[in-house]
Structure 1
């Protein structure tokens, strides 16, 4: 967790907010004592959670039509006959 005094925070607020947005916590100090913390919002919407789950599945599934008939003969069990 980064620590920053009030004056520094005021001068560079957009930079510190970007750090918080990326998941970092920032302690705000006044005369060397921590008076507050800025923490990222961990409450994500249902939509964002669903998008993250879908993104995690990307590349791990096979897309295809399993219902439509195929002209190919099934040979998956040919070695067991």
Structure 2
């Protein structure tokens, strides 16, 4: 992670945003104090697909068990 001062960040905003877009995180400081972290965008669709793939590894078909002696009406 790269750390830059706010004045340098302002002067080179486009450069730092392009770096963030390629995957680099950038910490922005003022007087040595962290005020912001610029992170790459998150691809929500790709993240959801990865989470579903992880769930699919441990999921079991018919893992919900209903007692066989109870009747229920699906049209309620």
Give the TM-score normalised by the residue count of structure 1: 0.53
Q: CA deviation at 1:13?
A: 0.4
Structure 2 segments unaligned to the other structure (5+ residues): 50-76
Tell me the C-alpha RMSD between the 2 structures.
1.6
Which consecutive unaligned segments of at least 5 residues does structure 1 have? 50-81
Q: CA deviation at 1:3?
A: 0.3
Residues 39-78 of structure 1: per-residue CA shift (max 9 Å, x gap): 11113446xx7xxxxxxxxxxxxxxxxxxxxxxxxxxxxx
TM-score by length of structure 2 reads 0.56
Matched, 1:8 2:8: yes
In our comparison, the structure showing a higher alpha carbon Rg is: 1
Residues paired across the two proteins, number: 47
Helix, strand or coil: the match of 2:36?
Answer: strand
